[in-house]
Amino acid sequence: GFFVENIRENRVEKNREKEYIQSMISDMKSDIKQLDSLNATRRVKNEMIDSILLILDMPDPNLFGNELYYFARWMPRPVRSITSDGTMQQLKSGNLRLIRSRRSVDAIMEYDQLVRFGNISVEDREETLIQQFYPSLKKVFDARVFEKMVKGMQINRPVGNPKLLHGDKESLDELYSHIHFLKNVNSYSIQFIERRRTLAEHVLDVLTQEYNLNNY
């Protein structure tokens, strides 16, 4: 009876292992899709940042008020990643022992470590910089213009070519400095997203190879 019960438990644990692997593969595919979308959004943001810096370096930025207001209003909006970590959390709560493949466990844990590092080093840093950016933004731009541009979650271009509230050198230099650091964290985020996507692909390859689950 003990032998039969042992075989039954073994079979149950193998089935649970397969379910976790299938679920992890699904999570990795979901993450890859989201990372591609994040990468595209970050690259558009970089183009906006480059445009603002270029205009601020011109003799008269007011000539491009329409572009400045539009790009600047987008600047504080954070770009957040939402990780598909349901399976990861279940595994880490005591079920990781069910994954018999050491290579799979190593790949899964490496990905988890990278994701947790990214949330601290990228998104938290960006949020800090955004909070520092607000004072210089409010100093240079007319909030009444911003108010007319926003409709719900949508940001529209302003009407005409609105002037800056303050265009003195000191205010513009302060704004330029803050945008420079936001560009740095946005550029680093693109690198991190690409690194994370590569690792997600690696996890996917390892799991399908180790468990011969190419149909999932």
**Number of residues that make up the chain:** 216
What's the pLDDT at 43?
A: 96
For residue 191, pLDDT over 90 is answered with yes
What percent of the chain stands above pLDDT 70?
A: 93
Assess contact for 158 and 149: CB atoms under 8 A: yes
pLDDT digits (tens, 9 = 90+) for 16-47: 999 999 999 999 999 999 999 999 999 999 99
pLDDT digits (tens, 9 = 90+) for 45-73: 999 999 999 999 999 999 999 999 999 99
Q: Which of 203, 15, 179, 36 is nearest to 98 (CA)?
A: 15
Q: Which of 156, 135, 17, 148 is nearest to 76 (CA)?
A: 135
Quote the CA–CA distance of 137 and 1 in Å, as a whole number: 74
78 HSE (CA, 13 A, CB side): 15
For residue 7, pLDDT over 70 is answered with no
DSSP letters, the chain, are -HHHHHHHHHHHHHHHHHHHHHHHHHHHHHHHHHHHHHHHHHHHHHHHHHHHHHHHTSS-GGGGHHHHHHHHHHTT---------HHHHHIIIIIGGG---HHHHHHHHHHHHHHHHHIIIIIIHHHHHHHHHHHHHHHHS-HHHHHHHEETTEE-PPSS-PPPS---HHHHHHHHHHHHHHHHHHHHHHHHHHHHHHHHHHHHHHHHHHHT-TT-
Tokens of 1: 């009876």
What's the pLDDT at 216?
A: 42
Cβ neighbours of 104 (radius 10 Å): 20
79: left (phi over 0), alpha (psi -120 to 50) or beta: beta
Cβ neighbours of 117 (radius 10 Å): 12
pTM of the model: 0.85
pLDDT digits (tens, 9 = 90+) for 68-118: 999 999 988 878 777 888 888 888 888 889 999 999 999 999 999 998 887
